[in-house]
Amino acid sequence: MSKKRPASRHTPKDHGFSTRAIHAGEERERYADAITTPIVQTSTYAFKDSKEIEAYTKHGKERFEYGRYGNPTELVAQRRLAELEGAEDCVVFASGMSAIVTTILTLVRSGDHLVITDDAYKKTLEFCSAYLQRFGVGCTIVPFGNYEALEAAIQPNTRFVFSESPTNPYLNIFDLERLREIARRHSVLTVIDSTFSTPLNQRPLEWGVDLVVHSCTKYLAGHNDILAGAVLGRTELIDQIRDLHKALGGVIDPHCCYLLLRGLKTFALRVERQNATGQKVAEFLEAHPHVKKVYYPGLPSHQHHDIAVRQMDGFGGVVTFDVRGTLATAKRFLDALQLCFIAPSLGGVETLITHPGIVSYYDYSRKQRYNLGITDTLIRLAVGVEDADDIIADLDQALERAARRTRRK
């Protein structure tokens, strides 16, 4: 007689990353038995009667009140992102910058100080160094990777250290273990913009970081069709950020939130593909005669390859490289592309390519750009999910044509 098999104890808590990306945050029973999460497109919510108002205001009944304070579609996205990042709680925003600015403004008061690394996203740096000054908040920008300078920059009024990992455009990797040690020694909070890594490749909270921010516009939504942002961490901190978010009002639209949820369903598949293509393209470019240097954390030649191997599960879909030649050669290369789109942003299904010198840093002098390491020939490629061989063929023909035209001039 066959023995009765014990029932499996596998619960949603045991679900793997891909399963969570599809199901986490959703109730099993849904409106009209639909498979998808409904888009609750409303700006406000009706109370049945005055008794229900009081149940909510006085007796803590959980429900929605007004669109800026919460939305059911948004709630599912917040829960799902928290599950993926391993966070207690999450707030989503109308953009990555809204998430960053709201987080920073929550953490500082007039007279406080923060430390930020120098190759953070341009707008984050500008906000910290220029705008915060108006409110009496000091900011020290330290060279990325110089942990001694970072520690020395911490003052008694420093509230937090902000960095990215990987960074843009050189894909430098922050040693999060060292960051945790420094932060603990000085009792400061740590915030990591993890947009370029995504929770599939790196989960900074597991390394002791206090808050993680994302531009969900990139890999998390993944289709180059929406703007969204998120901050994740302990409930105690997230509650404070949520409070300010309700006042600043950078709320995500419910339809946008649905698109974020839909994007998340294929998130693991997409990023696995982008990791593989990123590696293949980086290796191809490193061996190419018309490429001077490649920056990709999955390459042993990258200055932070060892940290990346220790800290990350994958190296992402962004590959930065210097073409051989001049600014004119780099422009000819861009102009010769037939598959990759010339556009800022990253993480979507379409491969995008940008020239930071003439796009993001167009308003800097050449000297200012070079001080930041933004050379005339620097190209940032963000692979999509097309066939890797097609992306490589496009890059190859564009590099050849640019080199040929440069020789003829």
Ligand X SMILES: Cc1ncc(COP(=O)(O)O)c(C=O)c1O
- Using the minimum distance from each CB to ligand X, give the nearer residue, 318 or 398: 318
Give which of 395, 298, 315 is closest to 351, Cα–Cα: 395
- For ligand X, give the closer residue by CB, 224 or 406: 224
Please give the Cα distance from 315 to 304 (Å, whole number): 11
Residues 38-97 that bind ligand X (CB under 6 A): 95-97
φ and ψ at residue 139, rounded to 5 degrees: -145, 130
Residue 32, judged by CB atoms within 10 A of its CB (0-12, 13-18, 19+), counts as exposed
CA angle 17, 20, 21 (to 5 degrees): 85
| Cis amide linkage into residue 204, ω under 30° from 0 | no
CB distance 96 to 195 below 8 Å: yes
Catalytic residue among 45, 56, 68, 175: 68
User: Is 253 one of the binding residues for ligand X (CB under 6 A)?
Assistant: no
Nearer to ligand X, 117 or 406 (CB): 117
| Catalytic residue chosen out of the listed positions 20, 80, 203, 218 | 218
Q: How far apart are CA 194 and CA 217, in angstroms?
A: 12
Query: Which of 74, 119, 164, 253 touches ligand X by CB under 6 A?
Result: 164
Residue 97 Cβ vs ligand X, minimum distance, rounded to whole Å:
4
The percent of the chain in helix, strand and coil, each rounded to the nearest 5, is 45, 15, 40
Tokens (6 digits) for 165 = 């990992």
Q: Does residue 296 have an active-site annotation?
A: no
Comparing CB distances to ligand X, the nearer of 162 and 321 is 162
Residue with tokens 């990253």: 346
> Which of 121, 170, 219, 258 is the catalytic position?
121
Residue 300 C-beta: closest distance to ligand X, Å:
25
Q: Is 195 in the site for ligand X (CB under 6 A)?
A: yes
Q: Which amino acid is at 105?
A: L
> Count of residues binding ligand X (CB under 6 A)?
13
317 binds ligand X (CB under 6 A): no
Catalytic residue among 89, 112, 193, 394: 193
142 vs 402, which CB is nearer to ligand X? 142
- Catalytic residue check, 121: yes
Catalytic residues: 68, 121, 193, 218
Binding site for ligand X (CB under 6 A): 95-97, 121, 164, 168, 193, 195-196, 215, 217, 227, 229
